Each structure stands twice: as structure tokens, then as C-alpha cells.
Amino acid sequence: MFKLPVCPHCGTVYRYKDTKAAIIKKENECYHCHKSFRRKLFPYILVDVIIIIAVSIGLNLLLLSRLSTFNVVPLFLITIALLVIGYLLIPFFTKFIKSEEENKLPRSKR
């Protein structure tokens, strides 16, 4: 699951920058085969969020138990850094799927 998305029609792998741009738009067109597709985030982004939350809680608890002189500011900064890392990983948890209008076409027109 930890990979950049591919075009559902021709299998072209999208670069990080292109994936970030495709996430913003709901309907996209493949630059290779020129067929339309949609991006799907919901179930896949939950994995990213769960990983970041688990790592953040675990790291904060570890630091609190090992370093009794730690205050809230470094823990807050560590949590913010992990959230930024999670945001940067969103394209790796994105999937491209075929457009709905293409799925509605009869088999003879595909």
C-alpha cells in the first residue's frame, strides 16, 4: 500500500508532485493514455492517520517515561513534526479509480 498511485487504465505510475496535484482535483485525466479517473482517499488515508497517531503517542510516552525533565513544548514540537510527515505521506496512501461515467457505459462501447 505504501507506493505512489498508478493510472487505472494504462498503469502509468504518477510522480509525487503529479499525485499532489491530482489529489486537489476530483476528476483527472491521465497524461499518458488521456482517459479520465478519480482519486480515492478515504479508506487509505485512515491508515496514514492511524500510523501517525500511534507513532506520536508512543514516542511521546517513551520520552515522558525516559526524560522526566521534558516539558510540553518539545512534545508539542515532536507531534507537529510527525503531523507534517503524515501530511507529506498522503500521496502514498492515495488510489486512482476509473470514473463513474466510464463504469456506466455498456460493454460494447468500452
pLDDT of residue 31: 87
Residue 24: predicted pLDDT: 87
The residue ranges of the chain whose pLDDT is under 70 are 1-2, 70, 101-110
Q: Return the pLDDT at 27.
A: 86
In this predicted structure, what is the pLDDT of residue 107?
53
Cell numbers that stand for 4 in this block: 505512489
7: left (phi over 0), alpha (psi -120 to 50) or beta: beta
Predicted pLDDT at 109: 53
What residue segments make up the domains of the chain, in order of their start?
16-105
Exposure letters 67-99 (e unless 16+ CB within 10 A, then b): eeeeeeeebeebbeebeeebeeebbbbbbbeeb
Q: Which three cell numbers stand for residue 24?
A: 486537489
